[in-house]
Amino acid sequence: MKQNPYNMRNRFQWAKGCAAALLLTLFLAPNCSLQILPPASMRFNAAICVLDTTETGADRTVADAVVLLQSITYGDRLETISDSAGMAYFTDILPDRYNLLVSGRRVSLTEMLLINGQLQDTALYVPENDTLFLDIYAQTSRTSALLISEIYYSGAPPKPIPQYYHDQFLEIYNNSNITLYLDSLIISDTEAGFQDDSLIHAIHAYMFPGSGSDYPIGPGEFIVVAQDAIDHSQAPVNSVNLLDANFEYYVSDQGDVDNPGVPNMIQLHHKYGIDFLYSVFNDALVILKVKDPYALGYDEFNRLMLPKSGVIDGVEYRENTSQFDWKRLDASIDAGLAGGIPGYSNKSVERRIERMEEGRFIFMDNNNSSLDFIILSKPTPGFCNQEVPQ
Amino acid sequence: MKRMTFLILIFTLCLFAQDINNERLFLDIDTDITDALPGRNPAFLHRENIPFNYAFSYRLRHDGGQDRLPYTPALKLYQNLSATAYMEMENGLFFAGRFAYRHEQRKDKLFLHNAENYLDMPFYFGDSTSGDFNLNGIDWNLIFSYPLSSRWRAAADIFYNVDEQFKTVFPKPNVKRNGVHLRPALAYRGKSLQFGVTGSFFRYRELMNTRKYVLEQGRSPIFIRIRGLDRPLLTYAQTSEERLQSIDGKGVSANLDLGGILLLESFYERSHAGIVDGGSYPEAQGNWELDRFSWRAALRKTGPRSGVSELFFEQHLRKGSGLHPTLDRRIYASYYRAMEGGISLPYRRSPGESFTGTVSYLIEDYKREDNFYGLLQYIPAHMLKMEFIYRKSGKKADFEMNLQYAEDICIGEAVVYTEMSGDYYADISAAELAYQLTDRRQLGAELQISIPFNGRQLAFRGSYINVMPLNSDARFHYAESGISYIF
């Protein structure tokens, strides 16, 4: 049978097309010998050297310091102790922005110095699963005899009264073995933005009454300063009973509640508000002693300026303890952050007990609230329910 | 009647054609004005291949069921109302325009505020609240096709859409989107050769707002910044309540027809999404990049009696990567690859009646890597697909019926994944993995009828696909119906 030339040409083109398609397929087909293995993680190791800025040579390294890595994104806390060479090692950590806190002690024959350092919001990452080497510089400070032992700032749950914060209190403890006096001691808050300033910029400042020896605080004694020294445990608030508070804030021209049976703190400066309200989210409170609270005057925004050199103790707290930006206190007063509790949760922060000594608590004082404070599910004004570590 | 037969043929081609660059990736909108053109190249728009002059269409889509991915809504209702026109001007300029309004409802959509999943994209903004989404949008599509010579044509295809999506459940996300897509094109039509090249430039923007919220309000909001495979990277507490996502991309596609015997198409696209937070607590966000490449080759043989038989092969590659917001490193990578080959054989019983059977085999694999945690998911799959089309053109009406069957073929290829624990792994990743590991069978039917009406034409279309997992009674369906009034 005679072949139709049209069909012949068609068949030839068909074969050509087939060959072209086959070639393209071979060229572009996926590689079948692909290795299906998990990729390497970006985890890495970190070696952190703790250095004391006040020493030189081999004495610069700080042994037995607590080194804390706080992940900003995930909230993870990694803690370790520096070795005799001042090195702290972390393994398999994830790349992230971290807050790095260091707290140690240097003990000599004559004194004990606290060593604190911090690196805030620092991106830690090395490629190729390598080890990151980092130096952290710490500065020295001294322990305090008087401590802020508990702050209840969060306020009562918003049921049924929304945003109830008149039950706030601050507790002071004598951590020493001698009697001290509260007379003319100042409690103030501090404005953010002045971390590196030598002055506290106080929005509120209140002073204990007394002429020098009127209000003693014995070793192991608590003093409670209430916002309003009334019983907040009654319905509908269902919070704490502060009838037994030792002092209270009273703002006479703002319609504040006054318990005549409880001495009032002396108002040095009160920029705004119906009371000395501690922020339920973030704030810093200090106790300090100065000769003349008005000696340095006010800043341009009507905040009382007080010298940081007079600070005895200070605590900074935040709802999110991973966020170290815009910190209010420097490492010499508080290198860390207490808190991590939501507003209006009826929870407080209390200093950890380090040990017992002669029947009294010795609270931890590293000048680092991230290490020194714990969260209490229920405030304990004037007492402490913590278990003593063995 | 010739016109009607041609129209039906065009519709059938739309359905049957394996358009390689027709994946609705960034917007779930059908821009079907160019679907029937070779390679979707707008420069092929000319007198001989316009399906009609004017048409008004209504389409209703109803997707839903229990067998679905964790992000897929339990029910998606999609209504589209469009007006389309094709016109030839005196100087040979061809104009096509389409204006459409669409309304979407999505029920029980979890975890995401975004309406679309943005395939393979690791960045999401979401929470665990359930809720229903509503969307209203309009879009325009204009094409100008101009003859450069008797064989060359140039064209510009402009697409623009605006829509707004909202959810009534806390935190009440509101998403405003707009997009522009420009496609310049060039086409050559010779006696035994035709080819075309189409460029593609687009920008889709999405501005999302939510109520400001914090964890303490007793809700469970999560701001998922970067979604890894198993453990999303999360930022708790206050979230940013504003986010702008901008997807920019460009691409090129080419098509070649050698005497109706060898047909080649290829498509490449590269897109980049930049994400910026606004609001009270802006967070540095990662970016993602996506590459898509496809090609298709078909050998056709036209028999004088049987019709067009075809041997085809096509390949798709989609490759994505996510970049860390601050570390300048790739932390996420994924790819999807697919190869499909098949044969289509027609049988013409009479001039107006034909049968076409198609059998094809699909091999695909899907790989996702979390470089941050060192995790892997690798899911290969095989599928056998069969299709049967019956067409009949009568004096008064045209009729077409399409039956589809597809089944996953388990050939024992190793699925690889890293097992984890945790709420998000259990709720999202594990559920997603279980879905991917399940073999399914699909059964579909489609019917198209075109009848004369008042001197015009009415075209009806209905389709139903039922997806049936082999190991459970859960089902998922895709149902669609539409009507067009054609001038």
pLDDT (0 to 100) of residue B235: 47
Instruction: Report CB contact under 8 Å: A30, B295.
Output: no
Q: Cβ of B262 under 8 Å from any chain A Cβ?
A: yes
In a domain, A16, yes or no: no
Instruction: Give the confidence band of A31 by pLDDT, cuts at 50, 70, 90.
Output: very low
Same domain as A214, residue A316? yes
In a domain, A9, yes or no: no
Same domain as A153, residue A102? no
Work out how many domains chain A is built from and give that number: 2
pLDDT tens digit sequence for B133-170: 899 999 999 999 999 999 999 999 999 999 998 887 77
Same domain as A163, residue A103? no
Residues β-bridged to residue B274: B246
Q: What is the average per-residue pLDDT within A66-79?
A: 85
Same domain as A291, residue A199? yes
In a domain, A383, yes or no: no
Which of residues A142, A157, A189 is at a domain's end?
A: A142
Three-state DSSP state, B259: coil
Instruction: Report CB contact under 8 Å: B234, A28.
Output: no
Show the 3-state SS of B286-322. CEEEEEEEEEEEEEEEEECCCEEEEEEEEEEEEEEEE
Strand stretches in B279-423, DSSP E: 287-303, 307-323, 330-350, 353-370, 375-393, 398-408, 416-417
A79-94 residues labelled b (16+ CB within 10 A) or e (exposed): ebebeeebbbebeebb
Candidates B258, B327, B332, B366, partner chain A, best to mutate (most A CBs within 10 A):
B327
Among A24, A123, A320, the residue with its CB nearest the CB of B297 is A24
The region that residue B3 occupies, defined by phi over 0 for left and psi between -120 and 50 for alpha, beta otherwise, is alpha
Cα(A372)–Cα(B1) distance, integer angstroms: 89
Please count the residues of chain B.
487
DSSP single-letter state for residue B125: -
Q: What is the average per-residue pLDDT within A81-108?
A: 88
Instruction: Report CB contact under 8 Å: B327, A24.
Output: no
Residues of A in contact with B262 (CB under 8 A): 13, 16-17, 20-21
Residues of B in contact with A94 (CB under 8 A): 372-373
**What type of residue is B138?**
I
Among B233, B339, B374, the residue with its CB nearest the CB of A73 is B233
Contact A35, A42 (CB under 8 A): no
Instruction: Report CB contact under 8 Å: B329, A42.
Output: yes
Residues β-bridged to residue A269: A205
Residues β-bridged to residue A304: A202, A298
Q: Which residue in chain A is spatially nearest to B315 when comparing CA positions?
A: A29
Among A18, A40, A127, the residue with its CB nearest the CB of B374 is A40
Question: Is the bond leading into B173 cis (omega within 30 degrees of zero)?
Answer: no
Read off φ and ψ for residue B483, nearest 5 degrees: -140, 140
Instruction: Report CB contact under 8 Å: B372, A42.
Output: yes
**What type of residue is A266?**
I
In a domain, A221, yes or no: yes
Among B259, B329, B331, the residue with its CB nearest the CB of A13 is B259
pLDDT (0 to 100) of residue B121: 62
Residues β-bridged to residue B267: B253, B294
Q: Cβ of B295 under 8 Å from any chain A Cβ?
A: yes
pLDDT (0 to 100) of residue A5: 37
C-alpha of A184 from chain center: 28
For residue B154, the distance in angstroms to the closest alpha carbon of chain A comes to 28
Cα(B209)–Cα(B172) distance, integer angstroms: 8
Which of residues A127, A142, A157 is at a domain's end?
A: A142
pLDDT (0 to 100) of residue B3: 41
For residue A273, the distance in angstroms to the closest alpha carbon of chain B comes to 24
Task: Using the predicted structure, report yes or no on whether residue A17 has a pLDDT greater than 70.
Answer: no
Query: How many Cβ pairs within 8 Å bridge chains A and B?
Result: 96
Cα(B106)–Cα(B67) distance, integer angstroms: 16
Q: Which of A22-36, A55-69, B169-183 has the lowest mean pLDDT?
A: A22-36
Instruction: Report CB contact under 8 Å: B313, A20.
Output: no
pLDDT (0 to 100) of residue A30: 47
- On the CB side of B364, CA atoms within 13 Å amount to 18
Show the 3-state SS of chain A. CCCCHHHHHHHHHHHHHHHHHHHHHHHHCCCCCCCCCCCCCCCEEEEEEEEECCCCHHHHECCCCEEEEEECCCCCEEEEECCCCCEEEEEEECCEEEEEEEEEEEECCCCEEEEEEEEEEEEECCCCCCEEEEEEEEEEEECCCEEEEEEECCCECCCCCCCECCCCEEEEEECCCCCEECCCCEEEECCCCCCCCCEEEECEEEECCCCCCCCEECCCCEEEEECCCCECCCCCCCCCECCCCCEECCCHHHCCCCCCCCCECEEEEECCCCCCCCCCCEEEEEEECCCCCCCCCECCCCCEEEEHHHEEEEEEEECCCCCCCCCCCCCCCCCCCEECCCCCCCCEEEECEEEEECCEEEECCCCCHHHHEEEECCCCCCCCCCCCCC
Three-state DSSP state, B435: helix
Same domain as A275, residue A159? yes
pLDDT (0 to 100) of residue A389: 83
Q: Which of A69-83, A238-252, A298-312, B348-362 has the lowest mean pLDDT?
A: A69-83
Q: Which residue in chain A is spatially nearest to B264 when comparing CA positions?
A: A21
Residue with tokens 């004005």: B33
Instruction: Report CB contact under 8 Å: A21, B339.
Output: no
What are the residues whose beta carbons fall under 8 Å from the beta carbon of A247, sequence distance 6 or more?
A: A208, A223, A224, A225, A226, A229, A262, A263, A264, A265
Contact A166, A251 (CB under 8 A): no
Indicate the average pLDDT of chain B. 83
Same domain as A177, residue A119? no
**What type of residue is B234?**
L
Indicate the average pLDDT of chain A. 85
Same domain as A251, residue A228? yes
Instruction: Report CB contact under 8 Å: A343, B295.
Output: no
Instruction: Report CB contact under 8 Å: A30, B339.
Output: yes
Cα(B468)–Cα(B432) distance, integer angstroms: 17
Same domain as A303, residue A160? yes
Pair type for strands A44-52 and A131-142: parallel
Instruction: Report CB contact under 8 Å: B233, A74.
Output: yes
Read off φ and ψ for residue A7, nearest 5 degrees: -65, -40
Same domain as A220, residue A129? no
**What is the torsional sign of CA A10, A15, A18, A24?**
negative
Instruction: List the 11-70 stretch of A: residues with Cβ below 8 A of B.
Output: 13-14, 16-18, 20-21, 24-25, 28-30, 36-43
In a domain, A313, yes or no: yes
pLDDT tens digit sequence for A155-183: 988 777 777 899 999 999 999 888 999 99
Residues of A in contact with B418 (CB under 8 A): 38
Task: Using the predicted structure, report yes or no on whether residue A376 has a pLDDT greater than 60.
Answer: yes
Residues of B in contact with A125 (CB under 8 A): 327, 329
Cα(B482)–Cα(B479) distance, integer angstroms: 10
Q: Cβ of A235 under 8 Å from any chain B Cβ?
A: no
Among B214, B313, B418, the residue with its CB nearest the CB of A21 is B313
Instruction: Report CB contact under 8 Å: B297, A20.
Output: yes
Q: Cβ of B301 under 8 Å from any chain A Cβ?
A: yes
For residue A24, the distance in angstroms to the closest alpha carbon of chain B comes to 9
In a domain, A172, yes or no: yes
Candidates B20, B193, B215, B216, partner chain A, best to mutate (most A CBs within 10 A):
B216
Strand order, beta sheet including B126-127: B126-127, B221-226, B233-235
**What is the torsional sign of CA B349, B352, B353, B359?**
positive
Instruction: Report CB contact under 8 Å: B299, A10.
Output: no
Candidates A7, A36, A326, A345, partner chain B, best to mutate (most B CBs within 10 A):
A36
Contact A319, B215 (CB under 8 A): no
**What type of residue is A115?**
I
In a domain, A35, yes or no: no
pLDDT (0 to 100) of residue A308: 93
Instruction: Report CB contact under 8 Å: B261, A40.
Output: no
* Of the candidates A376, A372, A288, the residue with the CA atom closest to the CA atom of residue A336: A372
Same domain as A204, residue A68? no
* DSSP-H helix ranges across B249-387: none
Same domain as A115, residue A239? no
Which of residues A142, A159, A193 is at a domain's end?
A: A142
pLDDT in tens, chain B (487 residues): 344 433 433 433 343 344 555 556 667 677 677 877 888 899 998 877 777 789 999 999 999 999 998 878 899 999 999 999 998 888 888 999 999 999 999 888 777 666 565 556 666 555 556 678 899 999 999 999 999 999 999 999 999 999 998 887 777 788 899 999 999 999 999 989 999 999 999 999 988 887 766 554 544 444 555 555 655 555 444 566 788 888 999 999 999 999 999 999 999 999 998 888 777 767 777 788 999 999 999 999 988 777 889 999 999 999 998 888 777 788 888 899 999 999 999 998 888 899 999 999 999 998 988 888 888 889 899 999 999 999 998 877 889 999 999 999 877 667 888 887 777 677 777 888 888 888 999 999 999 999 988 888 899 999 999 999 988 999 999 999 999 999 8
Among B225, B237, B262, the residue with its CB nearest the CB of A320 is B237
Instruction: Give the confidence band of A4 by pLDDT, cuts at 50, 70, 90.
Output: very low
Gyration radius (Cα) of chain A, Å:
31
Residue with tokens 């250095």: A51
Q: What is the average per-residue pLDDT within A88-115?
A: 84
pLDDT (0 to 100) of residue B123: 60
Instruction: Report CB contact under 8 Å: A42, B331.
Output: yes
Among B233, B237, B374, the residue with its CB nearest the CB of A41 is B374
* Exposed/middle/buried for residue B454 (C-beta within 10 Å: 0-12, 13-18, 19+): exposed
Most confident of A133-137, A143-147, B442-446: B442-446
Q: What angle do CA A347, A353, A357 make, to 5 degrees?
A: 145
CATH classification of the domain holding A136: 2.60.40.1120
Cα(A327)–Cα(A321) distance, integer angstroms: 11
pLDDT (0 to 100) of residue B285: 76
Read off φ and ψ for residue A233, nearest 5 degrees: -85, -10
**What is the torsional sign of CA B371, B375, B377, B378?**
positive
Among A13, A25, A30, the residue with its CB nearest the CB of B337 is A30
Cα(B360)–Cα(B382) distance, integer angstroms: 11
Same domain as A306, residue A216? yes
In a domain, A26, yes or no: no
Domain that holds residue A89: 44-142
pLDDT tens digit sequence for A218-252: 999 999 999 999 999 886 677 899 999 999 999 98
Instruction: List the 316-335 stretch of B: residues with Cβ below 8 A of A.
Output: 317, 324, 326-327, 329, 331, 333
Q: Cβ of B370 under 8 Å from any chain A Cβ?
A: yes
Task: Using the predicted structure, report yes or no on whether residue A136 has a pLDDT greater than 50.
Answer: yes
Task: Using the predicted structure, report yes or no on whether residue A45 has a pLDDT greater than 80.
Answer: yes
Pair type for strands A311-318 and A338-339: parallel
Instruction: Report CB contact under 8 Å: A17, B262.
Output: yes
Question: Is the bond leading into B171 cis (omega within 30 degrees of zero)?
Answer: yes
